[in-house]
Each structure stands twice: as C-alpha cells, then as structure tokens.
Structure 1
Amino acid sequence: MFSIRYRYLFMILLGGYSFLNTLLVESFEHYPIITPKPVILLLFIILTIAIWEGNRLLDNFLARLDIKSFWKRISYGFGASVVAVFFTTLILGGITSYFTISHHWRDWILPMKLLLMFCFRVNLFLNTINIIFLYHQQLEKSNQEIENHKRISSQAQLQALKNQVNPHFLFNNLSVLSALIPLDANTSVEFVRQFSNVYRYVLKSPDKEIIELKEELNFIESYLYLLKTRFESGLVTTIHVNKDCQSAYIVPVSLQMLVENAVKHNVIGKNKPLHVEIICLDNETITVRNNLQRKETRDQESTGLGLNNIAQRYIFLGHHGLEVKQTDQQFSVTIPLIRPTHASFFEP
C-alpha cells in the first residue's frame, strides 16, 4: 500500500484533511498554540510524508527479510513504525517549536503532546489500511495457488487417464487379450479384471487430493499385471513396502506415472529385462527405481514434465523433498509419504 502510484498526492491530501479536521473541532481554541496556522499546515504535511515514506522503507526492508508469518511481519512493522514516528515527531516538532514558540523546551510540552497524538493517529490509520491491503494480497495469492494446484492436479489426472486410454495402450492390451483368449480362458478373465481395476482407479482418483498408499499399491499391482502379461520375462518388478508405510498417503497416480515413465523410456526384452522396484526404506519416503537402459528416442521431455507435476502437487500440500537420482546403471525417484492428522480433510 505504501508504494502506490499517486502516494504523494494522497500524503498531501491526508495532511491537509488532518489540519482541516483540527480546525473544525476547534482544537486551536481549546489548546492555544501561537505557531502560525500555515506553519502548522506545512508541519502536518511534512510529518504525514515522513510517516508514509518511513513506513514504505520499513515495509520494503521487512519484505527483503522474507518473514514467512503474515502477522509477525505486521507486528514488526507496526512496532518499528511507532518508535520511528515518536523520534521523528520529537525532532521535527522540536525544531519548529524552537523557532516559532520559544527557545525554552518547557513551552513545547503541550504542542508536542498534540503533535504526537496527531502523528500516532496518522500512523495507526496508515498501518490499518496497509494491513487490509496486505491481507487482500495474501488472500488473492492463496486463491491463485489453489487454482494453480487444481490445474496441476487436473493435468496429472488427465495425463494418467491419457496414458491408459491412448490408442497404443488400448491396442497393446487388446492384442495381449486376443492372444490369451484361445490359449487360457482363466488368464483372459483375470486380465480383463485387472484391466477394469486400472480404469476404475484412474477415473476415481481425481476426486481426491491424496490417497492411502495401500490403495495406490493395489492399483499398481493391477497396472503391473497388465505390463508383465505383455512383456513377460522382459519386465521384472519388486515391491517391498511394509504395513507402516502402507498406512501413509501419497498423491494419486504418482507411482503409476513413475512406473509408466520407466517402461516408456527404457528398453525391455527377454535378453535385457527391465527391473522396476517400489520400496519403502525409512517409513518416510517411497522410492521407484529401475536399471537404466535408455531407448534411442528424441521424446525425453515427458519424464521431466511428469516429475515436475508430482513435485508441484506435493509442494502445494506443504511437502518438499522430491529426490531424483541417476547413475550410469540406475534411475530412481523418491517421494515423501504424507501422514496428515485428518486425512479426510483432503477428500471430498
């Protein structure tokens, strides 16, 4: 608020209004002050400018300190402004009184009291307006972050859905199913069941911000069943997640996106199997890792987009620490487990 475009005009108007208000309530008649009225008007305007500009510099200084707490920043700013206004008023008021009233400081007591009252009221008014202004800014920022999260979350869900309903995915799984039907009816029925589980989960997951890891793992097992039926011994999967980890929460379809990226960007064959592991080592994080055997392809950016999408969704929920590691032999992504006090808060 203190850095608004036409602030000097508002400073002069505020100083003039305060002087006019003082005249209308007949303050000068109740408290006789021999200082000429034009001098008092000029002093009011100068002090208003000093208070405004002082608050602006102080507000900029606190902004550079990057104080996270909104109310802590307001408290520091108001407290410091009160001290600054007190000494500024004493200095300017004392100089004015010395030249217009008397050389003796005892004759300044009443004018200085009135001047301090005026300056504190102006400072309180300006800081109140600034609090409203900053609160409105923070509210707009929060709304923007919520909208941004909704957009990112929707994109993640849409991407997951696209991964499952794109023509290649459908064609590959339908081809596998058509090959299974004449060979093994029971396996074909199980394949269809797992296929429906995948779609059911993907269609349901957009309704939730986070989901229990146990549910995500059930979905991943169905997803991996489809992949392993297709790639057979070319894909080797391992899941090591204890029960304590399974009671935690993660963002929906995040594991699926990581597994899908591993399959999409690496060579898979019987003579060169892809090993994908899902492990929980410390009850605080879960890791998806695979041996690195990159395909020769130009389309590598989707992995980065998927990882960024997952990271942004965790940041919105207040969890940082998405960790990506790559060596010549291995690629791994570690995401934090969420243990909310009230998980239902994130669910519809």
Structure 2
Amino acid sequence: MARFIQTHTSRFNTSPGTTEIEHLGGSSRPCRVWLISWTGDSIHEQEVDDLHGLSSGLDGGEYHWVNITGLEDEASIALLGKEFSLHSLTVEDITNTNHPPKYEAHEKYAFTIMRMLRQAGGEMVSEQVNFILLHRVLLSFQEIPGDVFEAVRNRLRSGRGRVRSSGTAYLQFALMDSLVDNYMLTVEKLGGEIDAMEDDMFSGTDDAPISAIREYTRQITMVRRYVRPVMEMLEQLKKSDQQPLEADLLPFYSDLQDHIRLVNDGVDGYRELLKHQLGMYTALKGYELNEIIKVLTIISTIFIPLSFIAGVYGMNFLHMPELSVPWAYPAVLGGMVLAASTMLILFRRKGWLGGKPKRRARSKRPE
C-alpha cells in the first residue's frame, strides 16, 4: 500500500532546524556546485571547489546561478547556508527532501520548493528541487545529477530568448516553467500508457491488467500529490510583497498557473479513467465467468434427461418388459440422442450456445 505520510523517527525529539540528509541515489558523496555568471553581453561557467567565501566572491555587477547537485554532504550544505545567510529552518527543509511544493518569503530571500518527476524503469521517481532567490543570485538544490533544465542552460549560453537579458527572478521562472512542462509530458506519457493498457485489456492481450491498473493509479496519485499544491504555491508567490519579483513577471506566473490547471485536469481525468477501467475489467471478468457458468449449466441440463433414462434402465428389477425387447436398447439410445439434439438446437436458437438468438417476426396489424 502506498504511504502518503512518511515518518522519520530519527528526527523525533530533535530541535527545529536540525538537518538530516534524506536523499535519492544511495551512498553518500560530496555535492557538486556549478556556477553560471552572466550579463547581457557575456557569460562564463565554472565548477566551485571551495565554498568558503563564495557569497562575497560573486561579482555584484553580474547575475549568478549557483546549482548544487547532491545533498548528502551535510557539511557543505550547512556551509552554503552560512555563506548566504539562510535560516536554519530553510537549510533543514532543503536537506529533508520529503516536502510538498511550498513558498516562503524571508527578509532577504525567497524560498521555493518544487518537485521534479521522472519515470525510471517503469517507476515514478520524485525529486525535490529547492530555489533560493536572493538579490542577483539564484541558488538551486537538486538531490541527484540529471534534470530538465538543459534547455534553459542552452538559452542562457546562446543568448536566445529573454533569460539572458533578464535577471535571476526570470531565471527562476524559466526553471519552474521547465518543471511544469515536464509535468505535462509525464502526464501525457502516462496517459498514453493508460490508453494502450485499456486497448490491450479489451483485446485480451494483457494478462495482468489489475496489477497494471494498480501501478498506474499509484503513479498518477503521486503526480497529483506533488502537482496540486503548486497552484496554491504560485498564488502565494504572486501575492508576496517580499518576493524580489519584477512586476512584468506576474503575467508569466499566471500563465504557469494555467499550465498547472491543465496538468491537474489531466491527472483528475486519468484517475477517473483508471477507476472506469477497473470497473469495466471487473464487469468483463464477471461476464466471462457468467459465460463459463452458462456453458457448464447447458451441459449439465443436457445430461439431466440422459442421466434420468440411464438411471431408470439401470435399476435391478426382475420384471422390466422393455429389457426383453430386441430393439429396446437402440431405441433408448436413439431417444437419448434425440433428446440431447433437441436441447442443443433449442439452446442454439435462443443464442445460449453460440450464434445469435432468432427474433420472432412481428405480426402485421390488420388494416
């Protein structure tokens, strides 16, 4: 059974703001920090090996995107929190990666949590992505390598579109837009698989539709769990007076809300479709079982008179006149064949044993 509330007993009785690394990807490894700095005319990228003094070393005349991949290195995450003056509860939320999407406005920065969804090996994987928007600096935190942001990076490098000429607030929107676009692609892919499963189910090629329906229901429920709160989060982001957000970006976030509505509508539609498929599959199996029972009942019905005749002439009475007649045995066999044939013809004419039932001709009304 799916667990929608995950408890972590090791965090009980600890003070608020205590970090505990909960991540995807297995064994612990150091985080990787990639820095992209740009202006309208230039851009340069580098991997940051030493996090000490990172905040003070950023050029105030440029915009900066600091992407941190891998949250297993607790010391490095804590150091980044100190470098950029992040609240201890913010650092805790970054490292405890089971949060639904949310938005928090702080005095010097805005903190946003979203989820990145992907299918891996037939399983739906949810990864937490955190954004810290400061003045001219955007921090993004990912659990594992690999994301859906490469198109944004390419636009930033090539100078295409608005992302290069705008600041970090627009960059955050572009990254969030990539996540929402990925939601749409994920739901569309799931929908195609669900439709194909329905075709296979009614064509008889799917041998285990119940397990498939259960798995798709689990995946679509996970998508719904992490996508539905995004609408409220975006509304809070738009209304926040502490968010360093340019006024001309508000229409973009409104458009993002429209996309989320489409995703939510698609998720709800496929949830209802899965319920319908489960009901149809149950009804189909019930119909098939009824057909089997009907055939067995017809066979039993045919053998009832045959068993009766065989039982009568199988009794051990001394005085049974028919037993002395030479043609009695073939006559009884012929009667049994006739009875069985008559019942078979009758059942077939009624459509109970293959074929279609013959309809009676309607009598014409007298003129």
* TM-score using structure 2 length: 0.31
- Bigger helix fraction: 1
- Say which one has the larger Rg: 2
- Bigger strand fraction: 2
* TM-score using structure 1 length: 0.33
